[in-house]
Structure 1
Amino acid sequence: MSDDALPEPDRLDGAPHPRETAALFGQNAAEAQFLAAFNTGRLPHGWLLSGPKGIGKASFAWRAARFLLATPMVQDDGLFGAPPAPASLDIGDEHPVVPRLKALSEPGLCLIRRGPRPDGKALSDVIRVEEVRRLKSFFQMSAGGNGRRVVIVDCADEMNPNAANALLKELEEPPADAVLFLIAHRPSGLLPTIRSRCRVLRFQPLGADDLRAALQQAGFAPPPEMAGLAELAGGSVGTAARLLSQDGLGLYADLLRLLQGLPRLDRPLALQLADATAGKQGEDRFDLTLNLLDTALARLARRGASGIPSPEIVQDEDALLARLSPGPLAARGWADLAASLTQRARRGRAVNLDPAALTFDMFLELDRQAATLPAA
């Protein structure tokens, strides 16, 4: 299998790649910080873009790359003085840098991401050192265009130790006018020396309005329950898109309906939900069921521990959470169950146990837990 036949590891199925994203929503503060550094003339070489997955870090990196590669290095004073400092990262589609970046043919950019395995049949699970070593030849080439070079690492969390050490060497002595964007969903897992050589730019989860706009830009039709989707997705465009493509809101509502009957398990509904996870076609449904059950258990534990309602994902959810988790003792029981329940199911799936049986067994565990919880 050729490299071209493999999926892009940094592209969400059914959505445009971040390099094709025209606008960035909900991250004005991050953009303002970057522009302020640019306009002072003291732009750091390394930027660590941190925050939950799917909230726009990669879209920002590509947006900033377009801006840096299209903006002249030295402003010409001319007859009327220097032009005003840029107020946004917008670069028009007519600029020649834009189509080159979309085609991955821009000589001023190097993209570091997971490549193919040695046999070429699938993508590697990690960014290997060979990918990072490409930076050496990239930095040795004569700078074209406006003289800048931009590197995007998507994502830095996926580097293996050798790759991380190789990147650290480049960060220690970067060439002049080079800017590296490291996208990190879990920056605490990176080498402290890598973090110390980068300026951290933090990205925030999107609110419902920004999430709606981002989904529409990506070609998804936002549902009427936009506030619930934003809460369930944690403000992540990527997560929201996956939930929409797999009817995640509908499945979450079904799981709450199952919880509603506890401690008298609705067995027909439990069997129906479990059967949907069976076979090859049910693999995605199994993963989604586990993820949403994790979410429901976490919300149960949080409701009982704090006594504070969270924004509802579906109607009347808080009344159900308050009934099943009326206080700290009940919250501890749900938290203990959450710590092990879906992990056991994932381990069982890894050794090819029947996913439908694993799912139904989880529902039985929920029923047993509900029957033993203290009332307050």
Structure 2
Amino acid sequence: MSDIPEADRSGEAPHPRETTQLFGQSAAEAEFLDAWNTGRLHHGWLLTGANGVGKATLAWRIARFLLTDPPAQADTLDAPPGHAALPRIRALSEPSLMLIRRPWDEKAKKLKTQITVDEVRRLGSFFGLSAGGRRVVIVDPADELNPSAANAILKLLEEPPAKATLLLISHRPARLLPTIRSRCRVLRLAPLEPDALEAAVVQAGGHPAAANPLAEGSVGAALELADGGADTYEALVNLLSKPQMDRARARAMADACAGKAGAARLDATVTAIARLLHRAARTGLLGPPPDAPDAEVRTLTRLAPHDAAARVWARLAQDIGDRVAHARAVNVDPAAIVWDALARIDAQARQI
């Protein structure tokens, strides 16, 4: 089992359950502690914010806190050192904890693209066998629940077992069922300030210089940019810098994502596309980011010269994100996924 990748681990960084310190999210921690100390602990919590700002790390801190006999009045989420449950939590063998994430497909020898309903159904036996004590469920991320799995989680939120706490991690909460959102208390995690970002990057095994402003306060984004993502984004910015996209270069960028050898390139390219559309939408409303290099400023300004363009790029970002997710779920050729996204961006840019 040690050779099977973990769907909720980001690259080579330590898994969030192995990360003991959370940087820059004291407000979210204080909000949860207030609910605990006042006896208003909700059964469902939705942890939201950009990818890589510490949502999973906070979820695991909460899990350790709840499962290590916390005092009725607590001033920190730190678990007591040496508690017997801590090594079990770290090893995913604690009987009062269940982690729901994308499972391994033994037949295809890869992680499934969604969290299946079979994974959620395991909670039936989990709650049956662990009846009587406090139980914690982490869903990471809830965005990857397929429709049947989402409905199963909803039923659990509607009829929660006693002393159960569900921690749902979500990068894009707007895509969740409204009924799931309405039955959870929301903990919003903000982008990290520069000092917190640098400390978190170092804790994750990165170099302090990896705290790139382009990461916009996200540890995951900073590590991804340092691992070649910055070069991919720069290539995308250059590709879209002219009034008419160079189709030959665009085709080469798409073809580089094909096959198993291009899997990492596909992830980096899809991330770069999402980043560009996000920054273009924000440029149309607020102007280009103050720390953006001149080449990026020129491209963003061309793409989003006014607020109407901002709305266009925001809609297209969501549309392309949905199309990419669906295409990956049904094993569409990776080159076709990237080419479709680039062609749609180019077509839209010509209309602005």
Regarding TM over 0.5, the answer is yes
Give the whole-Å Cα distance in 2 for the aligned partners of 1:116 and 1:150.
Answer: 22
The match for 1:241 is 223
Q: How many residues align?
A: 348
Three-state SS of the structure 1 residue aligned to 2:74 is coil
Which amino acid counterpart does residue 242 of structure 1 have in structure 2?
A: E
Choose from 306, 313, 337 the match for 1:328.
306
Could you tell me which of 162, 165, 190 is aligned with 1:204? Answer: 190
What are the residue-to-residue correspondences of 1:53-202 with 2, within 5 Å? 53-72=51-70, 85-117=73-105, 119=107, 121-142=109-130, 147-202=133-188
Pairing 1:252–2:230 present:
no
CA positional deviation for 1:9: 1.2
2:272 is equivalent to residue 292 of structure 1: yes
Structure 1 window deviating more from structure 2 (111-120 vs 156-165): it is 111-120
The percent of aligned pairs where both chains have the same amino acid is: 50
Change (3 A) 1:6 1:32: same
Q: In structure 1, what residue type is equivalent to 2:91?
A: A
Q: Does the aligned pair in 2 maintain the 1:214–1:237 contact within 8 Å?
A: yes
- Give the stretch that moved more between structures: 148-157 or 171-180: 171-180
State the 1:336 CA deviation: 10
**Is the CA contact 1:151–1:179 (under 8 Å) kept in the aligned structure 2?**
yes
Q: Quick one: structure 1 residues 316 and 208, their matched pair in 2 at CA, closer, same or farther if it must change by over 3 Å?
A: farther
Structure-2 separation of matches of 1:42 and 1:336? 37
- Structure (1 or 2) with the larger CA radius of gyration: 1
Unaligned runs of 5+ in 1: 76-84
**Which deviates further from its counterpart, 283-292 or 157-166?**
283-292
Check 1:340–1:209 CA distance in 2 against 1; reply closer, same or farther (3 A cut). Answer: closer
> After TM superposition, which residue ranges in structure 1, 4 or more long, deviate above 6 angstroms?
264-275, 336-343
In structure 1, C-alpha distance between the alignment counterparts of 2:39 and 2:138, rounded to whole Å: 21
Q: Distance between the aligned counterparts of 1:38 and 1:259, measured in 2?
A: 50
TM-score of the superposed pair, with normalisation by structure 1: 0.74
| Cα displacement string for residues 124-146 of structure 1 (whole angstroms, at most 9, x for unaligned residues) | 322222222222222223558xx
- Deviation, 1:275, is 8.0
Pick from 7, 10, 24: which aligns with 2:8? 10
Residues in 2 aligned to 1:193 and 1:180: alpha-carbon distance in whole angstroms: 15
Tell me what 1:37 maps to: 35
Counterpart amino acid of 2:269?
A: T
Contact 1:342–1:362 under 8 Å retained in 2:
no
* Bigger mean CA deviation after superposition, 281-290 or 132-141: 281-290
Match of 1:223 in 2: 209
Do the aligned partners of 1:114 and 1:124 also contact (CA within 8 Å) in 2?
yes
Corresponding residue for residue 50 of structure 2: 52
Distance across 1 between alignment mates of 2:220 and 2:62: 20
Counterpart-to-counterpart distance in 2, 1:101 and 1:36: 24
Query: Is the contact made by 2:96 and 2:130 (CA closer than 8 Å) also made in structure 1?
Result: no
Distance 1:335 1:137, change over 3 A: closer
Equivalence map 1:281-320=2 (5 Å): 281-296=261-276, 299-300=279-280, 302-303=282-283, 305-306=284-285, 308-314=287-293, 317-318=296-297
CA contact (8 A) 2:257 2:335 kept: no
Q: Is the CA contact 2:101–2:115 (under 8 Å) kept in the aligned structure 1?
A: yes
Letter in 2 for 1:180: L
Query: What are the Cα deviations for residues 316-341 of structure 1, in whole angstroms up to 9, with x where unaligned?
Result: 6435644x358439948995996799
For residues 283 and 155 of structure 1, do their structure 2 counterparts lie closer, same or farther at Cα, with a shift above 3 Å needed? closer
Which amino acid in 2 is paired with 1:97?
A
Checking the alignment, whether the CA contact within 8 Å between 1:301 and 1:330 is kept in structure 2 is no
CA-based RMSD: 4.1
Q: Which amino acid aligns with 2:265?
A: R
Q: What's the TM-score, normalizing by structure 2? A: 0.79
Give distance in 2, aligned partners of 1:230 and 1:339: 18
SS class of match (1:194): helix
- C-alpha deviation, 1:102, in angstroms: 0.6
Q: Which stretch shows the higher mean deviation, 100-109 or 163-172?
A: 163-172
Unaligned runs of 5+ in 2: none
* Residues 1:98 and 1:270: Cα distance change in structure 2 (over 3 Å): same
Note if contact 2:212-2:222 (Cα within 8 Å) is conserved in structure 1. Answer: no
Moved more, 187-196 or 44-53: 187-196
Describe the SS at the equivalent of 1:157.
helix
Inter-CA distance 128–284: structure 2 relative to 1 (3 Å threshold): closer
